[in-house]
């Protein structure tokens, strides 16, 4: 994708970082130089190269360099602890590594490769590029690990490029767009947004870490057109007293994906900024599954992630004609499997079991009900934690909340709600009264815990396992 964009827009600025910038032609030359050096050191098809760095241009260059010579790159989170990184790295069995100095000891016997240079070479080295098929393993990101150790997901050249192409299509990306990348590049959301920006010929600015003030200043100054945001960012935006004074008129949308958007929060932000949310649905194992129609703003919905992406099929498991069931999908951006865990999620006929309970409406819209493994069984009834959370978030004094189940001798399980107040006036009794008017008795939390924040992944996804560990007492 970088090579193609370089041929179309060689002199266009492709990447900015701090006070530096590189054209597409310069980026392509840097990738060639790094790829040739890695190839000279013996890296090629069949190798797995672990990248362990914080956000920096060299990270992007290393990704493209490794894939250009037919190897696969894997991207653990550099902010994990050693206790988390060690089993993750061992699981993917890397044969080489590009790492910053603090992580050297973690890569063991892997060949350590140099971090790419940012100085455009005068004498361009070019690697021998092997044939790559759609099923060639290329990218191994890690799942969020909400139920145990993170799983390395194996994306092929076909599924990675397919997911990137879907993002370009369903965001209507073009060379006139300006993107801000403060997302972690180790996360699949950051990696594929970068790929989509490059494939479209857009101008991207990369940040080391997210800072809200810096982000908004950059949007105003550089006229950014699309801003991907996750849960934690949305909550920070909503708390800004001067949000209405910010000039965000260049934004075509806030892009939201990966988890259900808090509807009342999104409506409040849109009312104050005049920028709508474009909601979508994807996961580490399937990059882009559903999108609201970018070309028809009147059909954008906060309650639904939309319709199947180009090349995606879906169905509900269970009895034919069932209104709800586990969502199964197949299509352009579905991964090959896990590198380090046996699973029955991939079916022999090519379908992938998402683990999400969904409803497909008559007009074709998708609605995600909850995670199959998160559903609670209360007195014989299924209870969706997400439904309880959405009910609580609608309370005007609630900023955020998460729900989990605890064992109960009478009802098997009972819900517990952990709530982040938007006001010091909020009390558990007020929450109990609120749900009593809106939820059936078996769905109501037996206990309400007030706290300062919830554990969330970089994508904004609630870490329900960690929430339970913190508050299950």
CATH number of the domain enclosing 434 = 3.30.300.30
Tally of structural domains, the chain? 2
Q: Looking at the structure, tell me whether residues 385 and 466 fall in a common domain.
A: yes
Beta carbons of 16 and 181 less than 8 angstroms apart: no
Q: What integer is the mean pLDDT of 133-137?
A: 95
First and final C-alpha spacing in the chain: 51
- Paired strand residues for 313: 330
pLDDT at 146: 42
Can you tell me the distance from the alpha carbon of 425 to that of 296, in angstroms, rounded to the nearest whole number? 41
Q: At 268, which CATH number?
A: 3.40.50.12780
Mean pLDDT of 149-173: 94
**Of 347, 372, 397, the domain-final residue:** 372
| pLDDT band at residue 367 under the 50/70/90 scheme | very high
Tell me whether residue 409 is exposed, middle or buried, using C-beta atoms within 10 angstroms of its C-beta: 0 to 12, 13 to 18, 19 or more. Answer: exposed
Question: What kind and span of H or E run contains 434?
Answer: helix 428-436
Last residue of a domain, one of 372, 401, 435: 372
Average pLDDT, the chain: 91
Shared domain check, 234 and 350: yes
Residue range 200-227, pLDDT digits in tens: 999 999 999 989 999 999 999 999 999 9
pLDDT at 458: 67
pLDDT > 90: percent of the chain:
69
Would the pLDDT of 34 be above 90? yes
Q: Which two tokens stand for residue 1?
A: 């994708």
Same domain, residue pair 204 and 312: yes
User: Are 361 and 421 found together in one domain?
Assistant: no
Has residue 106 got a pLDDT over 70? Answer: yes
Q: Mean of the pLDDT values across residues 149-169? A: 94
Instruction: With respect to residue 4, please indicate whether it lies within any of the assigned structural domains.
Output: no
Number of Cα atoms under 13 Å in the Cβ half of residue 217: 6
pLDDT at 148: 55
Question: Tokens 């879906």 belong to which residue?
Answer: 314
pLDDT beyond 50 at 147: no
Can you tell me the mean pLDDT for 41-62?
97
354 SS3 class? strand
Does residue 39 lie in a domain region?
A: no
- HSE-CB at 118 with a 13 A cutoff on CA atoms is 12
pLDDT reading at 392 higher than 80: yes
Residue 367 and residue 439 share a domain: no
Among 53-67, 169-183, 186-200, 379-393, the range scoring the smallest mean pLDDT is 379-393
Q: Would 183 be classed as within a structural domain? A: no
Any domain includes 456:
yes
Q: Are residues 210 and 241 in the same domain?
A: yes
Mean pLDDT of 224-248: 89
- Does residue 314 belong to any structural domain of this protein? yes
What is the reported pLDDT for 473?
66
Mean pLDDT in residue range 348-356: 91
Question: For residue range 268-315, what is the model confidence (pLDDT) as tens digits?
Answer: 999 999 999 999 999 899 999 999 999 999 999 999 999 999 999 999
DSSP category for residue 439: S
Is 92's pLDDT higher than 60?
A: yes
Residues 267 and 328 in one domain: yes
pLDDT at 144: 58
Residues 379 and 269 occupy one common structural domain? no
294 in a structural domain: yes
Q: Which two tokens stand for residue 133?
A: 């098929």
Indicate if the pLDDT at residue 88 is higher than 80. Answer: yes
Indicate if 208 and 339 belong to the same structural domain.
yes
Predicted TM-score of the model (pTM) = 0.84
> pLDDT tier at 149 (50, 70, 90 boundaries)?
low
Decide the pairing of beta strands 96-99 and 20-23: unpaired
Same domain assignment for residues 328 and 443? no
Which residue range is the domain that position 306 belongs to?
Answer: 197-372
Burial 79-102 (b: 16+ CB within 10 A, else e): ebeeebbeebbebbebbbbbbeee
**203 and 349 inside one domain:** yes
Confidence of residue 379 (pLDDT cuts 50, 70, 90): confident
Q: Cβ(13)–Cβ(108) under 8 Å?
A: no
142 within some domain: no
State which of 348, 372, 396 marks the end of a domain.
372
Is residue 116 in a domain?
Answer: no
What is the predicted pLDDT for the residue at 233?
81
Between 458 and 114, the more confident residue is 114
351 and 391 in a single domain? The answer is: no
Q: Within 10 Å of residue 148's Cβ, how many Cβ atoms?
A: 9
């Amino acid at each position: 994708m970088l090579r193609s964009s370089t041929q179309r827009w060689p002199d266009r600025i492709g990447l900015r970082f701090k006070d530096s910038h590189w054209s597409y032609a310069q980026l392509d030359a840097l990738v060639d130089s790094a790829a040739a050096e890695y190839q000279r050191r013996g890296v090629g098809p069949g190798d797995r190269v672990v990248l362990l760095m914080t956000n920096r241009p060299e990270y992007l260059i290393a990704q493209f360099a490794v894939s250009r010579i037919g190897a696969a790159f894997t991207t653990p989170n550099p902010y994990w602890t050693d206790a988390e990184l060690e089993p993750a790295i061992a699981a993917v069995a890397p044969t080489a590594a590009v790492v910053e100095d603090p992580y050297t000891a973690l890569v063991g016997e892997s060949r350590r490769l140099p971090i790419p240079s940012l100085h455009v070479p005068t004498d361009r080295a070019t690697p021998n590029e092997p044939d790559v098929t759609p099923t060639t393993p290329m990218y191994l990101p890690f799942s969020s690990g909400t139920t145990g150790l993170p799983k390395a997901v194996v994306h092929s050249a076909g599924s990675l490029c397919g997911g990137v192409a879907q993002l370009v299509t369903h965001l209507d990306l073009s060379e006139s767009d300006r993107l801000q990348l403060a997302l972690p590049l180790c996360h699949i959301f950051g990696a594929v947004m970068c790929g989509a920006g490059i494939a479209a010929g857009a101008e991207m600015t990369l940040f080391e870490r997210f800072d809200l003030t810096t982000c908004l200043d950059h949007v105003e100054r550089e006229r950014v057109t699309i801003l991907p945001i996750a849960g934690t960012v949305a909550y920070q935006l909503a708390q800004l007293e001067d949000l209405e004074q910010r000039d965000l008129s260049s934004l075509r949308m806030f892009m939201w994906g990966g988890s259900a958007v808090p509807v009342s929060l999104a409506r409040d932000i849109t009312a104050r900024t005049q920028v709508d949310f474009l909601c979508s649905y994807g996961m580490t194992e399937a990059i882009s599954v559903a999108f609201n129609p970018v070309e028809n703003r009147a059909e954008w919905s906060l309650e639904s992630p939309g319709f199947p992406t180009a090349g995606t099929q879906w169905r509900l498991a269970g009895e034919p004609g069932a209104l709800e069931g586990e969502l199964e999908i197949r299509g352009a951006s579905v991964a090959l499997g896990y590198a380090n865990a046996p699973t029955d999620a991939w079916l022999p006929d090519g379908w992938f079991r998402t683990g999400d309970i969904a409803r497909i409406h008559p007009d074709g819209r998708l609605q995600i009900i909850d995670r199959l493994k998160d559903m609670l069984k209360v007195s014989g009834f299924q209870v969706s934690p997400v439904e309880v959370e959405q009910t609580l978030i609608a309370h005007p004094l609630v900023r955020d909340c998460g729900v989990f189940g605890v064992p109960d001798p009478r009802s098997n399980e009972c819900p517990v709600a952990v709530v982040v107040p938007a006001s010091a006036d909020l009390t558990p009794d007020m929450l109990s009264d609120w749900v009593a008017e809106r939820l059936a008795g078996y769905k109501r939390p037996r206990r309400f815990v007030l706290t300062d924040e919830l554990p969330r992944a970089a994508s904004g996804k609630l870490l329900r396992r960690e929430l339970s560990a913190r508050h299950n007492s």
